[in-house]
Structure 1
Amino acid sequence: MTVQDIRAFNRFYTKVIGALDYSRHLYAPYTLTESRVLYELAHSSRTDAADLRAELSLDAGYLSRILNKFEHDGLIERAPSRRDTRRRTITLTAHGRETAALLAERADETVGALLAAVPPDDRPRLSEAMRTVRAILSEGRLPRREEVVLREPGPGDLGWIVQRNAALYAAEYGWNTDYEGLVARIVADFAQDHDPHLERVWIAELDGQPVGCVMCVRDEAPATARLRLLLVEPSARGLGIGDRLVTAVADFARGVGYRELVLWTNDVLSAARRIYQRHGFVLVAENPHRSFGKDLVGQDWRLDLHGSGE
């Protein structure tokens, strides 16, 4: 391969991308860069200007003008960070989330139209070729925390949650298919009947592949949410994904009015327990039980959402 090969590919790909948005329909009334900022805000549980500058490699002044425009348009709110008073947390308003969702829907439709012209038998080759380019050009470089995106589940992601929970817990703890059945029921209940305003699933994505997940669902107790099915792939551990997923659940639950966040886990899951403790969860009960082919100690943890100030 030569430099000219890469430049030729760049010219070709730029032409394809330009054709996708020849009328600026995709991003109107926002620019491509403004749409990228909206995308990052929509896929992060909390962020600030410094995070956005690092993620998007934007000039501080340029980003400030974009955020001022978003605030004027009612897309974002800014507030002092709980973690660092020198920073201001940026979150999307309801109008901001609707706008980001509209831009994402347009992008999905446009790319879908492009793929419609690709024969179905060729699509796996195209996908693999894209992954190969990314992998080779990233070879030897460890992933960075900011490269992990938290997003809503897409087609196939709920099935991935069941499959990866079953496979990982069997490999790491020897749990049998009873656990897979439990996860399948939890996921099916969510898929068939959930309130999108009060319940949510997050998928952690790295290099286009899911590497983690968590759920927030209503509990039987009043004003109480339940955290379920926290998982991080072994290949992606050490990037703070578990902390980000738990933070996403706590922020969401607090934001929609829950007063408590609870969860059930087992004492053998020591890494997950350390995450819960860092976020202010308190152990309230322990009970030995025989489940998933093992003798375990179940644990109930609780977080007071209006008494924690992480």
Structure 2
Amino acid sequence: MTEINHSITLKFRKFNRFYTNVLGFLNEHIYDSPFSLTETRILFEIHNTADCTAKLIQDTLGLDRGYVSRILKRFEKENMVYKKRSEEDSRNHYIYLTSFGESIYKKLETKANQQIEYMLKHIDGPHQEKLTEAMNTIECILSEHLPPEKSDVSIRDYYISDDIKLMIEKQRAFYAETHGWDDSFLDYLHETFDADIENIWIAESAGRFAGCVGLVKHPGKTVQLRWFLVDAAFRHQGVGTRLLKHLIDYCKDNQFERIFLWTVSTMAEARPLYEKFGFRLTEVKDETLLWGQRLREERWDAELG
């Protein structure tokens, strides 16, 4: 492995900060639009890709399936795109821009060109050539030496308000799509974050949400495990095991004696993982109507003392 020069790292970070400010300046002065950068990139992919699919957009841009789906639904509602079922595989739907979508794309493309022209008009010819050569050098070196496209998953043990919003949305979408839970679960989710939070761990890969888990304080040396979720795109990669290991190690380091969690009997896929980390079923409630479904709640405990 190549030895990293610390001064190079600092220069790299300095350039990143500088170029981020450049992009922010251009967006503020030129790129007025009701569409986010991600939405604009999706329009670009649809326009420039023959027989474009939602899966292709996900893979190309490294985006979450639910996120792409919501954007495409918005585009359909605004009559910007339409779908056509594949004749070869009825499970696939190709996505195309409508004439209205094409007109919007062309306007966004024009504005994107104006961004660059706005910058270049203040730079003389020789320096423009030098600038593009430097860009080409950066692209070539990074393209040749970056690791494979699939990034490693990292786990951080701090969170900000945006993380809470994303966790709530991920949980809502998962339980609605997979288990048919209704909107009353969303209200419940918001309430759970009013608790006394001990810690939260976020799993990420190249800036994408991969999973999460958290701890809530209880009296004495007891904590409650909450919000455990692994994104569908990262399942069967050991993300859940790593998240729970971080949580268990933290509890041991901080001398907690007991961890408990509440789940429902229909969530059988998580049971082997709970058992692996020493959790045992300790209580089962009677079946009741909960979040639009007939559910039976279960409590699982792990003794650390």
TM-score, normalised with respect to structure 2: 0.55
Asked if structure 2 preserves the Cα contact closer than 8 Å seen for 1:280 and 1:303, the reply is: yes
**2:280 matched to which residue of 1?**
282
The aligned runs of 1:15-164 (5 Å cut-off) are 18=11, 20=13, 111=17, 115-117=20-22, 118-119=24-25, 121=27, 125=37, 143=150, 147-151=152-156, 152-164=158-170
Q: Find the aligned partners of 2:213 and 2:149 in 1 and give their Cα distance.
A: 24
Question: What's the secondary structure of 1:258's corresponding residue?
Answer: coil
List per-residue Cα deviations over 1:32-84 (Å, max 9, x = no partner): xxxxxxxxxxxxxxxxxxxxxxxxxxxxxxxxxxxxxxxxxxxxxxxxxxxxx
Q: Find the aligned partners of 2:269 and 2:166 in 1 and give their Cα distance.
A: 22
Deviation at 1:119, TM superposition (A): 2.2
Deviation at 1:184, TM superposition (A): 1.2
Q: Find the aligned partners of 1:265 and 1:201 in 2 and give their Cα distance.
A: 18
Flag the 1:233–1:126 CA change in 2: closer, same or farther, 3 A. Answer: closer
Flag the 1:116–1:227 CA change in 2: closer, same or farther, 3 A. Answer: same
The correspondence for 2:252, drawn from 246, 251, 254, is 254
Structure 2: unaligned runs, 5 residues or longer: 1-6, 42-57, 63-142
Which amino acid in the other structure matches residue 25 of structure 2? P
Question: What's the secondary structure of 2:296's corresponding residue?
Answer: strand
Q: Find the aligned partners of 2:19 and 2:270 in 1 and give their Cα distance.
A: 42
Question: What's the secondary structure of 2:164's corresponding residue?
Answer: helix
Q: Find the aligned partners of 2:26 and 2:161 in 1 and give their Cα distance.
A: 17
Q: Find the aligned partners of 1:233 and 1:132 in 2 and give their Cα distance.
A: 15
Flag the 1:290–1:116 CA change in 2: closer, same or farther, 3 A. Answer: same
Structure 1: unaligned runs, 5 residues or longer: 1-13, 23-109
Flag the 1:232–1:159 CA change in 2: closer, same or farther, 3 A. Answer: same
Taking only aligned residues, the RMSD between alpha carbons, in angstroms, comes to: 3.7
Aligned residue-pair number: 193
Based on CA coordinates, which of the two structures has the bigger radius of gyration?
2
Deviation at 1:125, TM superposition (A): 4.5
| Structure having greater relative contact order (Cα 8 Å, sep ≥ 6) | 1
State the percentage of identical aligned residues.
23
TM-score, normalised with respect to structure 1: 0.54
Do residues 166 (structure 1) and 71 (structure 2) align? no
Which amino acid in the other structure matches residue 216 of structure 2? V
List per-residue Cα deviations over 1:218-268 (Å, max 9, x = no partner): 124x21010001011111101111111111111111211210010000111
Asked if structure 2 preserves the Cα contact closer than 8 Å seen for 1:200 and 1:215, the reply is: yes
Deviation at 1:115, TM superposition (A): 2.9
Q: Find the aligned partners of 2:167 and 2:261 in 1 and give their Cα distance.
A: 18
Do residues 182 (structure 1) and 181 (structure 2) align? no
Q: Find the aligned partners of 1:181 and 1:206 in 2 and give their Cα distance.
A: 29
Flag the 1:115–1:273 CA change in 2: closer, same or farther, 3 A. Answer: same
Q: Find the aligned partners of 1:298 and 1:149 in 2 and give their Cα distance.
A: 32
